Amino acid sequence: MRTILVGLDQALNHDLVTALAEFPEIELVRQVASYPGPDDFLRILRARRPDFVFTSAADFPRFESLMAAIDDRSPGLPVICVSDVVNPLDVIPKLMHLGVRELLTPPITHERLGEVIASIARQLSKRPSPLIRLGDLYAFFPAKPGVGSSTITVSTSCALADELGEGKKESMRPSSR
Protein backbone atom coordinates (compact mmCIF):
# COMPACT_ATOMS: atom_id res chain seq x y z
CA MET A 1 0.00 0.00 0.00
CA ARG A 2 1.23 3.47 -0.87
CA THR A 3 0.93 6.49 1.42
CA ILE A 4 1.98 10.11 1.79
CA LEU A 5 2.50 12.28 4.89
CA VAL A 6 1.07 15.81 4.86
CA GLY A 7 1.58 18.67 7.30
CA LEU A 8 3.09 16.77 10.23
CA ASP A 9 5.45 18.60 12.57
CA GLN A 10 9.03 17.33 12.67
CA ALA A 11 8.67 15.23 15.83
CA LEU A 12 5.46 13.48 14.72
CA ASN A 13 6.87 13.04 11.22
CA HIS A 14 10.01 11.37 12.57
CA ASP A 15 8.04 9.10 14.92
CA LEU A 16 5.66 8.04 12.16
CA VAL A 17 8.38 7.43 9.56
CA THR A 18 10.30 5.33 12.09
CA ALA A 19 7.18 3.32 12.94
CA LEU A 20 6.24 2.88 9.27
CA ALA A 21 9.67 1.39 8.57
CA GLU A 22 8.52 -1.67 10.54
CA PHE A 23 5.74 -2.32 8.01
CA PRO A 24 7.24 -3.52 4.72
CA GLU A 25 3.81 -3.58 3.04
CA ILE A 26 3.60 0.22 3.37
CA GLU A 27 5.50 2.34 0.87
CA LEU A 28 6.00 5.96 1.88
CA VAL A 29 6.01 7.73 -1.48
CA ARG A 30 6.05 11.40 -0.42
CA GLN A 31 6.40 13.66 2.62
CA VAL A 32 4.94 17.16 2.41
CA ALA A 33 5.99 19.43 5.28
CA SER A 34 3.17 21.96 4.95
CA TYR A 35 -0.43 21.81 3.81
CA PRO A 36 -0.49 22.13 0.01
CA GLY A 37 -3.12 24.09 -1.88
CA PRO A 38 -5.86 22.11 -3.65
CA ASP A 39 -4.16 22.17 -7.06
CA ASP A 40 -0.76 21.24 -5.64
CA PHE A 41 -2.34 18.44 -3.64
CA LEU A 42 -4.09 17.12 -6.75
CA ARG A 43 -0.74 17.05 -8.58
CA ILE A 44 0.78 15.11 -5.69
CA LEU A 45 -2.12 12.62 -5.75
CA ARG A 46 -1.81 12.16 -9.51
CA ALA A 47 1.94 11.68 -9.43
CA ARG A 48 2.23 9.49 -6.33
CA ARG A 49 -1.12 7.62 -6.43
CA PRO A 50 -1.37 6.91 -2.69
CA ASP A 51 -3.84 4.36 -1.31
CA PHE A 52 -4.26 6.48 1.83
CA VAL A 53 -2.95 9.66 3.44
CA PHE A 54 -1.53 10.52 6.86
CA THR A 55 -2.14 14.15 7.79
CA SER A 56 -2.13 16.41 10.83
CA ALA A 57 -4.97 18.52 12.19
CA ALA A 58 -2.65 20.91 14.05
CA ASP A 59 -3.71 23.83 11.84
CA PHE A 60 -7.41 22.98 11.74
CA PRO A 61 -8.56 25.56 9.14
CA ARG A 62 -5.90 24.38 6.67
CA PHE A 63 -6.70 20.77 7.56
CA GLU A 64 -10.38 21.44 6.75
CA SER A 65 -9.35 22.96 3.42
CA LEU A 66 -7.21 19.90 2.63
CA MET A 67 -10.08 17.56 3.55
CA ALA A 68 -12.43 19.54 1.29
CA ALA A 69 -9.91 19.15 -1.56
CA ILE A 70 -9.70 15.40 -0.93
CA ASP A 71 -13.48 15.09 -0.83
CA ASP A 72 -13.81 17.15 -4.02
CA ARG A 73 -10.94 15.73 -6.07
CA SER A 74 -10.55 12.19 -4.73
CA PRO A 75 -13.63 11.15 -2.75
CA GLY A 76 -13.21 7.96 -0.77
CA LEU A 77 -9.45 8.32 -0.27
CA PRO A 78 -8.83 7.08 3.29
CA VAL A 79 -7.27 9.67 5.62
CA ILE A 80 -5.53 8.98 8.93
CA CYS A 81 -5.26 11.99 11.19
CA VAL A 82 -2.08 12.10 13.28
CA SER A 83 -2.44 14.55 16.13
CA ASP A 84 -1.15 15.18 19.61
CA VAL A 85 -4.52 16.43 20.82
CA VAL A 86 -5.02 17.03 24.52
CA ASN A 87 -8.68 16.01 24.54
CA PRO A 88 -9.66 13.68 21.68
CA LEU A 89 -13.35 13.98 22.62
CA ASP A 90 -13.33 17.55 21.27
CA VAL A 91 -11.59 16.61 18.01
CA ILE A 92 -13.25 13.29 17.11
CA PRO A 93 -16.67 14.74 16.16
CA LYS A 94 -14.98 17.32 13.92
CA LEU A 95 -12.89 14.61 12.26
CA MET A 96 -15.95 12.42 11.75
CA HIS A 97 -17.77 15.34 10.15
CA LEU A 98 -14.86 15.73 7.70
CA GLY A 99 -14.86 12.00 6.85
CA VAL A 100 -11.74 10.95 8.77
CA ARG A 101 -12.13 7.44 10.15
CA GLU A 102 -8.82 7.00 11.98
CA LEU A 103 -7.03 9.08 14.63
CA LEU A 104 -3.48 8.22 15.62
CA THR A 105 -2.06 9.94 18.71
CA PRO A 106 1.45 9.85 20.20
CA PRO A 107 3.15 7.79 21.32
CA ILE A 108 2.94 5.95 18.02
CA THR A 109 3.35 2.29 18.94
CA HIS A 110 3.80 -0.64 16.61
CA GLU A 111 0.56 -2.21 17.87
CA ARG A 112 -1.59 0.91 17.40
CA LEU A 113 -0.14 1.68 13.96
CA GLY A 114 -0.71 -1.98 13.02
CA GLU A 115 -4.38 -1.67 14.04
CA VAL A 116 -4.81 1.49 11.96
CA ILE A 117 -3.12 -0.06 8.91
CA ALA A 118 -5.24 -3.22 9.25
CA SER A 119 -8.37 -1.06 9.42
CA ILE A 120 -7.34 0.82 6.27
CA ALA A 121 -6.52 -2.48 4.52
CA ARG A 122 -10.01 -3.80 5.36
CA GLN A 123 -11.55 -0.56 4.10
CA LEU A 124 -9.54 -0.72 0.87
CA SER A 125 -10.48 -4.37 0.31
CA LYS A 126 -14.16 -3.37 0.38
CA ARG A 127 -13.71 -0.17 -1.64
CA PRO A 128 -10.37 0.31 -3.39
CA SER A 129 -8.89 3.78 -3.45
CA PRO A 130 -10.38 5.95 -6.14
CA LEU A 131 -8.56 6.21 -9.43
CA ILE A 132 -7.27 9.63 -10.23
CA ARG A 133 -7.72 10.83 -13.78
CA LEU A 134 -4.38 10.80 -15.57
CA GLY A 135 -5.68 11.87 -18.98
CA ASP A 136 -4.15 15.33 -19.24
CA LEU A 137 -3.05 16.34 -22.70
CA TYR A 138 0.07 18.40 -23.31
CA ALA A 139 0.79 19.96 -26.70
CA PHE A 140 3.95 21.69 -27.91
CA PHE A 141 3.62 23.96 -30.94
CA PRO A 142 6.80 25.31 -32.47
CA ALA A 143 7.01 28.92 -33.63
CA LYS A 144 8.94 27.70 -36.66
CA PRO A 145 10.54 24.42 -37.76
CA GLY A 146 13.78 23.36 -36.10
CA VAL A 147 13.46 25.17 -32.77
CA GLY A 148 13.48 21.97 -30.65
CA SER A 149 9.82 21.34 -29.86
CA SER A 150 10.20 17.61 -30.64
CA THR A 151 13.11 17.39 -28.20
CA ILE A 152 11.10 19.19 -25.52
CA THR A 153 8.12 16.89 -26.17
CA VAL A 154 10.17 13.70 -25.83
CA SER A 155 12.01 14.99 -22.74
CA THR A 156 8.74 16.03 -21.08
CA SER A 157 7.07 12.69 -21.80
CA CYS A 158 10.09 10.81 -20.41
CA ALA A 159 10.10 12.98 -17.27
CA LEU A 160 6.35 12.45 -16.74
CA ALA A 161 6.68 8.69 -17.31
CA ASP A 162 9.53 8.56 -14.80
CA GLU A 163 7.57 10.64 -12.25
CA LEU A 164 4.49 8.45 -12.63
CA GLY A 165 6.52 5.23 -12.52
CA GLU A 166 5.50 4.24 -16.04
CA GLY A 167 9.00 4.14 -17.53
CA LYS A 168 9.92 0.79 -15.96
CA LYS A 169 7.46 -1.41 -17.82
CA GLU A 170 8.27 -3.99 -20.45
CA SER A 171 6.68 -1.77 -23.10
CA MET A 172 9.92 0.23 -23.14
CA ARG A 173 11.78 -2.70 -24.71
CA PRO A 174 12.12 -2.77 -28.48
CA SER A 175 9.54 -5.02 -30.07
CA SER A 176 10.61 -8.01 -32.10
CA ARG A 177 8.32 -8.14 -35.11
Q: Give the pLDDT confidence score for residue 59 in this predicted structure.
A: 83
> Which domain covers residue 151, as residue numbers?
137-177
Q: Are 33 and 102 members of one domain?
A: yes
Task: Let me know if residue 111 belongs to a domain.
Answer: yes
Q: What is the pLDDT of residues 17-48, one digit of tens each?
A: 888 889 899 888 888 888 888 888 888 888 88
What is the 8-class DSSP label of residue 51? S
Q: Give the pLDDT confidence score for residue 171 in this predicted structure.
A: 47
Question: Coil, strand, or helix at residue 82?
Answer: strand
| Predicted TM-score of the model (pTM) | 0.67
Q: Are 85 and 167 members of one domain?
A: no
User: Out of 95-104, 120-129, 141-150, which region has the weakest mean confidence (pLDDT)?
Assistant: 120-129
Output the domain CATH number for residue 31.
3.40.50.2300
Q: Are 28 and 114 members of one domain?
A: yes
Strands (E), 19-150: 27-32, 52-56, 79-82, 102-104
Q: Are 116 and 141 members of one domain?
A: no
Residue bearing the bigger pLDDT, 118 or 129? 118
Question: How many domains are contained in the chain?
Answer: 2
